[in-house]
Chains A and B, each alone.
Chain A
Amino acid sequence: MAPRFDGATVVLSVDRLRTVFETAAQTVVAVDDVSFRLHQGEVLGLVGESGSGKSMTGHSIMGLVDPPGRIADGTILYRGEDLGHASEDRLREIRGNHVAMVFQDPMTSLSPTLSIGAQLAGVLRAHRRIGRREIRERSVEMLRRLDIPSPEARLRAYPHELSGGMRQRVCIAAAMLNEPDVLIADEPTTALDVTTQAQILEEVRDLCRNTGTAVIWISHDLAVIGALANRVAVMYAGQIVETGPVAELLAAPRHPYTRALLSAIPGANRGVRRLPQLTGEVPAIGDVPTGCRFRPRCARADAACEAPPVLVACGIGREVRCVHPLSDADATIDGAIP
């Protein structure tokens, strides 16, 4: 079957997104100056540690930021339509139909009191008039595509009767039922076993290839992103610090933080006795350093880093937010990180 998409159409474009949390005491910037474009059929990996703003970026796109949080600046365009100025009705039409999200913990997104079949039917009925038989056929078909054994029987099951991996597959099935243009997946496999995770990654990859759905895959795990994504954006303290095609970025990172993250992966350093480690911790979002936010933990930092760096191009399709970016020569992961 020929793919129904050309790969050049931009389905989602996020420009200078800034999400803040305002309280009487202080204003905290959770997402700061985040921009990216998502093409049809593409998987963008959004990587970062806790507090990097990666989940909040996903929630902002879905319009799921609750007060005191709000989108303070920037635009989110879905096929050219500004979601920031869309009415609540229009947003509801888009959410779950054109742009869908899968969360880390399937138990919080599934209702414990409804059967799987009823929940999937709800997803279909929310967006169009559809007969019972078609609901059943499409639900069974989607569960089967996600490799759920005896899907007809599963429709009658309740979430507590399924294993964690099975529940997460039901959530992905629900998100994919309306064949959305964009799927935002927030650490959906983090809580799962590796064999289950491998199955789900495989299925998501197939679905993108066959339906043209574009995916934003949010994860702290660079190895998972490496296995799944076409492009990667690395976030640190609310900002994208590096972005580029997955193979190039992982092989030769430009930002010192990306290299440090790669070096810290236990499996990437076979034969090295001690893991190269970063000192200190990710700054709390209310307490980010001035200038380059990675400066206090960076061995390359000097006076030039006291001014906030901007994203600059550093190769084809690559950008880095660093005044002292790494070259190919010092980008290798060899444990020699100072």
Chain B
Amino acid sequence: MSPLLLLDEVGRDFGSPGALGSWLRRGLGHGERRIVRAVDEVTIAVGRQEVVGLVGESGCGKSTLGRIAAGLIAPSRGEVRVDGVAIAGLSAAVRRRSMLRVQMVFQSATASLNPRQTVREILLEPLRVHRLAPRAERDDRVADLMRRIGLHTGFLSRDPHQLSGGQCQRIGIARALTVAPDLVVCDEPVSALDVSIQAQILNLFQDLQESLKLSYLFISHDLSVVERVSDRVAVMYLGRIVEEAPVASLFGRPSHPYTVALLAAAPRLGAQRRVAAVVKGERPSPYNPPAGCHFHPRCPRAVELCRRVAPERREVAPGHWSACHLA
């Protein structure tokens, strides 16, 4: 059975000016524009009722990958498949239907809600636009959603600025759920929240996943958050997935040196005043990534081969993939 969502060898470049742009630039003597390869041929699947965590540092391409998964931007290369059907080949109307099954929750809840709409209008809009429920039932649907996200229906008449950060994020989640999706792409959904509120929202994500049988592609820079919610975790570095494994396997027996470094760098309670094994050096510019393995300039174990040849991903244990020559 094909997975719910499959990103098949997808890549995405930014800064490519297009044919007309290139012609104009050449004509004006500007030369070619610099292109950044934000996502570099990534394959990742999300199964039914599965939570796949995507971790990486800023600039690694995880948000771009999330936006491709949610259909917000098109990949430059490769295919997005929902239930095995390539989205790009569908007619506009069918594609829109198909992509309703994948929704998104954003990092900045306050910025992603329209300040001039009330909470009721925010939640009714998707139902109205996609003509999903008879008008008479829409208010019931919205009330039901409010119950699921743990907010009193009294909040429906409020404006976003009257809500706290945690409440805004609950509304952001409710809005994603209005169209009854199968998969929700969550892009750093708890990063902007205080710890006590973060715990509430993480629990809410878990409850909703169980009660609505949802799948998540859960993007975060925070390893402990990803560890908590995910069944499987993929680690990204400079546009590539360097390691992918079931959560226990990845955190218990990390294989890729970058994953090892990330785990060592994350401050953890109970590990007080230990000398951190620190990755030396800055992340290279994505405009000009190193040849071979992207991580080799910072990798303590790099050998000659790593400088020349980009490693293919290999299965190092059942279901545990690593893109490292030394794994």
Query: Which A residues have a C-beta under 8 Å from some C-beta of B?
Result: 49-50, 147, 149, 163-166, 193-195, 197-199, 201-202, 220-224, 226-228, 246-247, 250, 260-270, 273-278, 281-282
A264: chain B residues at CB < 8 Å are 195-196, 198-199
Interface contact B262-A221, CB-CB below 8 Å: no
Residues of B within 8 A of A247 (CB): 272
A198-B267, A221-B267, A226-B272 as given contacts; A276 in contact with B199, CB under 8 Å: yes
Interface size on B, residues (CB 8 A): 42
A264: nearest chain-B partner, CB-CB: B199
A-B contact pairs, 5 of them (CB 8 A): A193-B221, A265-B195, A266-B222, A266-B228, A267-B223
A234 to chain B, nearest CB (A): 12
Asked if A267 and B164 sit within 8 Å, CB to CB, the answer is no
Our count of residue pairs bridging A and B at CB distance below 8 angstroms stands at 127
* Cβ–Cβ contact B278 & A282, under 8 A: no
Q: Is the CB of A198 within 8 A of B194?
A: no
Q: A49-B195, A199-B278 are in contact. Are A223 and B269 (CB under 8 A)?
A: yes
List residues 250-295 of chain B with CB under 8 A from any CB of chain A: 261-262, 264-276, 278-283
Partner of A227, one of B197, B221, B267: B267
- Cβ of B112 within 8 Å of any chain A Cβ, yes or no, is no
> Are A195 and B261 within 8 A (Cβ)?
yes
Q: Is B202 within 8 A of A261, CB to CB?
A: no
Name the distance in Å between A334's Cβ and chain B's nearest Cβ: 14
Are B224 and A266 within 8 A (Cβ)? yes
A-side contacts of B38, CB under 8 Å: none
Q: For A262, give the chain B residue with the smallest CB separation.
A: B269
Contacts of A194 on B, CB cut-off 8 Å? Answer: 57, 221, 223, 262, 265-267
Q: Given the complex of chains A and B, what is the CA–CA distance between A228 and B269 in angstroms?
A: 11
Question: Which chain B residues border A201 with CB–CB below 8 Å?
Answer: 267, 276
Q: Closest 6 A-B residue pairs measured CB to CB?
A: A267-B224, A264-B199, A198-B265, A193-B57, A49-B194, A223-B267
Cα(A156)–Cα(B278), bound, Å: 27
Whether A193 lies near B58 (C-beta < 8 A) is: yes
A264 to chain B, nearest CB (A): 4
Closest to B258 in A: A195
B117 beta carbon closer than 8 Å to chain A: no
Partner of A149 from the list B57, B270, B282 (CB cut-off 8 Å) is B282
Contact B272 A227 (CB under 8 A): yes
* Residues A195 and B279 in contact, CB atoms below 8 Å apart: yes
Chain A residues lying within 8 Å of B262, measured Cβ to Cβ, are 194-195
Bound together, the chains give a CA A194 to CA B277 distance in angstroms of 12
A contact residues around B281 at 8 Å (CB): 149
